[in-house]
Structure 1
Amino acid sequence: MGTEKRDYGKQFMGWTLLLLGVAVGAVAVGLRRWSPALLGAAAVLLVPWTVVLGLTLPADTEVRNWSVAWIGLDVLMAAGCAATALLGLRGNPRARLTASATAAVAVLDAWFDMTTARPGAELTQAVACAVAEATLAAVCVRLAVTDRPAPRE
């Protein structure tokens, strides 16, 4: 019974922070000059939530749709690479945005590869994948922050 109450409290806090995050996002979009301050507030609010997760999440769990989650990350990364390539080849400055998003997905994928792998061969494979994904992320970050001339037609 104590576990159920703790889980309910965690769910309540999670939904509250999610709704607060959506509200902050909506306000930030509407009031662009306040965006940095609102994002700073969101960062501060995420600190206690992270502590709650650290104290309450189980060390391991069984997960539904495991393969869908992993495949989804790779599909998202492939789509980001394709979008960045197409926009970049056209000289479209929005390639910086897709490059930024793709870098974030690559880092996320590498993080999950490393933190969910079992010791041994699985971890070795995860490290190899993480190195490749970190390299992709670095290339994407470079594209996102470098002011490059548009390709010639």
Structure 2
Amino acid sequence: MKDVTTSNFGLLIAFVLPGFVLLWGIAPYSQTVTNWLAHANSDAPTVGGFLYATLASVGLGQLVSTLRWLLIDSLHHRTGITPPKVGFASLKDAVGAFDRLIEIHYRYYQWHANALIAATMAAVLYWFARGLRFREVLLLIAVDALLYVGSRDTLTKYYRRVDELLRRDD
């Protein structure tokens, strides 16, 4: 099995974990998903269940990422975070540095913003199935606020450093 590296860790936190959070929110609506996520000794997950849960998490992570692009990216751009004006012609001389910026900033932005979307969706789905609890709402508000602030910080740093690396002089 391949070791966790900087590049695949970023993909794991950006897509698989948020997808898994949403999968957890879907579990009350699907016995199959519930079985994939089973934890009791008699209902221990199987290799097939692990594979299905992983694949479903990746797919749901992509869906969450699309919602992130539609909602969170747009919100950040409307509230003062400006994408850099870059000249990709200079990228050929800075591919390694650009890839590093993606891994140390953009993947973490994707994690924060995707987790915000996934946690909110999972909580709403869970509450529809199991009932609303006031403490859980407060916890979600606190977690979402933290993820939102984290997403603004990491996206701002990513844009600033990409601008420094690939600035286009107009």
Common fold: TM-score over 0.5: no
Q: Which has the larger radius of gyration?
A: 1
TM-score by length of 2: 0.29
Bigger relative contact order (CA 8 A; separation at least 6): 2
TM-score normalised by structure 1 residue count: 0.31
